[in-house]
Amino acid sequence: MKPGLKVGLIGAGTMGSAHAEAYRVLDNAELVAVSDLIYERAQAIAAKTGAEIKTADQIFADSSIDVVDVCLPTYLHRDFVVAAAQAGKHVFCEKPMARSLQEAEEMKTACEKAGVKLGIGHVVRFFPEYIRAYDQVKNGKVGKVAMVRCTRGGFPLPTAWQDWYANYALSGGLVLDMIIHDFDYLRWLLGPVERVFAKGTRGRDYNRLEYALVSLKFRSGTIAHVEGSWVSSGGFHTRFEIAGSQGLIDYDSRKANPITLTVNKKDGTPGVPVPASAWAENPYTTEIRNFINVLDGKDGKIVDGNEGYESLKIALAALESIETGKPVNL
Ligand SMILES: NC(=O)c1ccc[n+]([C@@H]2O[C@H](COP(=O)([O-])OP(=O)(O)OC[C@H]3O[C@@H](n4cnc5c(N)ncnc54)[C@H](O)[C@@H]3O)[C@@H](O)[C@H]2O)c1
């Protein structure tokens, strides 16, 4: 058994699997329990990590567990985060924090009452390129920022458990589910948002051709627009351009060069190329490392419930604007 905090993971789908990998490499946390309605999913993570397969209620009732990691579909976040907090566990919950502000409020209140920490998975703040751009702006390298443009998308809309991403009532579509990443990043970079105006193809259940364009006016006067698309060619990609009085920053994930290592086999036959990520560490691992370090009394950064709430507010305002055709003041 590793020293450090004991973690129970609820939800062993795409994100649960990513988080499980993070706990494998941390030396001050151990994944001791995993839960999923689909037994084989829990089993796959258990086999890799040595975690025990449990139900969510067994995880809440286990007094040896310090942290609950919630990787469930968005509409389930509130119920499981509140239950975990009431059981006295610190909680890490994937973004978006919840499907509504009311639910997010209940999550914050439950964690505050229980005196436990709540971290929300706004992972873009842990991506090296986004951090580098943030540092350049904060160090005044581009002067006063006038305009930012962000893009995120690909094709096709992902399928998941019970096709919940395509169910607008459960996921909030790409505005709530995907480009909330950019809203959160921009809020971190530029401060509070004053007004939102958006157009998009939302509102049709099982609409797999989703697109939205959201313009944001910040209290500082800066304007930004965020484009989210599940109808873009070229694979999943993200992009940003930041324009300031002294210069520009431009990032396009499609232009990033992965490191390729080619090695000779010992028997002398030609080597095979081994693609590897250019990152020093997977940002999902960095994000969880930061959360665990804070709980462990070390240096770290948490995007907490208040931050998750503020970013959720922007996404919901964008949905309201799409629905009404009018700008929404925050
Ligand atoms: N940070 C990111 O970059 C990022 C990327 C993708 C998804 N997400 C977010 O992560 C969350 C999970 O998304 P996902 O893609 O992993 O979903 P998913 O559908 O792949 O996985 C969800 C899992 O939850 C399980 N489940 C449902 N109800 C359960 C219950 N009561 N008890 C135990 N297990 C249960 C399902 O069987 C499924 O395996 C969502 O909020 C999503 O928005 C974040």
């639910």: which residue's tokens? 103
Ligand 1 centroid to residue 74 C-alpha, Å: 7
CA dist., res. 152 & res. 133, Å (int): 17
Classify domain 5-121 by CATH architecture: 3-Layer(aba) Sandwich (3.40)
CA dist., res. 19 & res. 7, Å (int): 11
Ligand 1 centroid to residue 77 C-alpha, Å: 10
The one-character DSSP state at 161 is G
CA dist., res. 203 & res. 29, Å (int): 41
* Neighbouring residues of 148: CB distance < 8 A, sequence distance ≥ 6: 186, 189, 190, 222, 223, 224, 225, 240, 241, 242, 243
Give how far Cα 88 sits from Cα of 64, 82, 117, Å. Answer: 11, 10, 10
What is the secondary structure of 65-120 as a DSSP string? --EEEE-S-GGGHHHHHHHHHHTT-EEEEESS--SSHHHHHHHHHHHHHHT--EEE
CA dist., res. 126 & res. 253, Å (int): 15
Q: Is the peptide bond preceding residue 3 cis, with omega within 30 degrees of 0?
A: no
In the structure encoding, which two tokens stand for residue 232, read together?
A: 């873009």
Does residue 123's CB lie within 6 angstroms of at least one atom of ligand 1?
yes
| Domain range list for the chain | 5-121, 125-278+304-329
Each residue's pLDDT expressed in tens, for the chain with a length of 330 residues: 778 999 999 999 999 999 999 999 999 999 999 999 999 999 999 999 999 999 999 999 999 999 999 999 999 999 999 999 999 999 999 999 999 999 999 999 999 999 999 999 999 999 999 999 999 999 999 999 999 999 999 998 888 999 999 999 999 999 999 999 999 999 999 999 999 999 998 655 667 889 999 999 999 999 999 999 999 998 899 999 999 999 999 999 998 765 555 555 555 544 444 444 555 689 999 999 999 999 999 999 999 999 999 999 999 999 999 999 999 999
Does residue 177's CB lie within 6 angstroms of at least one atom of ligand 1?
yes
Ligand 1 centroid to residue 248 C-alpha, Å: 37
pTM summary value: 0.94
Ligand 1 centroid to residue 88 C-alpha, Å: 23
CATH number of 125-278+304-329: 3.30.360.10
* 3-class DSSP state of 18: helix
